[in-house]
Structure formats: structure tokens, C-alpha cells
Structure 1
């Protein structure tokens, strides 16, 4: 049997991989079935940085501070993973607090704008709902 003699090297970039492929690789690494080094060999990814880029973009886990570790779950690895999860949760909490504060400021600004527009143009922008029932609701209640 003859072997092909002119096998050419095709350089691939992260754009060459489909989204489903990237998510599958990330899921296998996160679940502990593979580590980053073995994922390169299993799937034929040419550069370790490609796997790292996939993890940074599609993973819920923070991978910047971790080195390549074995697949065995040691206590040291578990503590590193837990520390990374704590950091991620702290980042998410800080982001949520920032967004809440920003939303509160927007509400204040919009209220000021509505007040200014109502004064300047002498129109009612806000609806004033009264706690009492409207006339149509009262009629519906009497019919029943």
C-alpha cells in the first residue's frame, strides 16, 4: 500500500473550528474528562493557545491563573478550582452590584428629565393611576 508523499500542512485558526466543536471541547475539559494538553492531541488542535482561547471565551470558569494539571483530582487541584470559582462568583457579584447601582442612577436621571419636560412643556408624561377602581371596572363588578 502506498503512502501519500506530499502531505501538506494546513494552518488552522480558532475561526476554523465550529461553535459546537468549541463548546464540546470546553465541556469535556470542565467536566474533568480531559485536560488542556490532552485535548490538543485528541482533537488535533495545533496550538495550546487555541484551547486556552476557547476556555477563556466559552467557559464559566476562570482559567488565567491555572497551569496544565493532570486529570486526577487531587486536593490541591480541588482547592485551586474552588478558589477560582470563588473569584468568579466575586466578579459576578461585583458586576451585579455595579449594574444595580447604574440602573438606580438611570431611574433618578429619567425622573429628573420627566420632571423638567413636564414643567417646560406643561404636559403630563407620567400616568397617574389612582388606587380606586376605574368607572368601567365598577360597572363590570355591578353586573356580576
Structure 2
């Protein structure tokens, strides 16, 4: 039987949080299993970590995975056709979000005179300092 250690919030290092997030995202654990295994008391603590430190766009409301297999709401494995349909819905939502963000940027620029600089994909805005 696993021993459970009750923890306080200050016990959670960033490395620990990232490790838990990675395990949940890979499907090795559900967020509830992670809570039990690591003695995390807050009901939504792991979900908050997933939203904050997980993959971009992680919402927590997508279909669950069990050990890397995509599952439907009744716990049955998804067929490739069902998975494709789910991904098409997610793609449509992502495109709609992108259009919304573009519209917001246009309003900011036209109506408020705010210049929005878009970060080129794959490049950091931070200047690298080279010390020799």
C-alpha cells in the first residue's frame, strides 16, 4: 500500500508541478490519480497546473485518455474515424479563435491606435546576451 503524504502548497516546486503535468498529459495518470499518488489535497490543484504549465490550449474538458488511448465519454476507445472527427472540431474551434484574435487586434489598431506587435513563430522576443 502506498503511503500518502499530506503536503502544503509551499512543498510544490516548479519541477514537481511540471513532472505531474507531463505525466497527466502523456496519459500515464489521470489528474485524480496524480492527486492521490502525490498527496495533493486541493481538488483542482492539478487542473490549475495543467492550464498554467501544460500544452497551450489545454482545457481539461477534452476527451480523456487512458494510458495513451483516446476514450469517449462512456470510457470506450475511440475509432480512428471518431478521433478524426474530434480533431476536426478542435481545428475548427482553433481557427475561430484565431479569427477572433485577429478581429480584436484590428479593433485595437483602428479604433484605439494601439500598435500590436506579433511575435514571429518560433522566435523569442528576449535578446540573448553573450558573455565572453
Q: Is residue 20 of structure 1 aligned with residue 26 of structure 2?
A: no
Unpaired runs of at least 5, structure 1: 1-8, 111-144
Q: TM-score of the superposition, structure 1-length normalised?
A: 0.47
Larger Rg: 1
Question: Over aligned residues, Cα RMSD in angstroms?
Answer: 3.6
Moved more, 32-41 or 74-83: 74-83
Structure 2, unmatched stretches of 5+, are 116-132
The equivalent position to 2:59 in structure 1, one of 59, 62, 74, is 62
Find the partner of 2:39 among 44, 59, 71.
Answer: 44
Paired with 1:52 and 1:95, the residues of 2 have a C-alpha distance of 25
Aligned length: 99
Q: Following the alignment from structure 2 to structure 1, what is the Cα–Cα distance between the partners of residues 29 and 17?
A: 14
2: CA distance, partners of 1:36 / 1:81: 21
> Who is 2:100 aligned against?
94
How far the C-alpha of 1:10 sits from its partner, in A, is 5.1
Contact 1:22 1:54 in 2 (8 A): yes
Q: Greater relative contact order (Cα 8 A, min sep 6): structure 1 or 2?
A: 2
**Does residue 74 in structure 1 map to residue 32 in structure 2?**
no
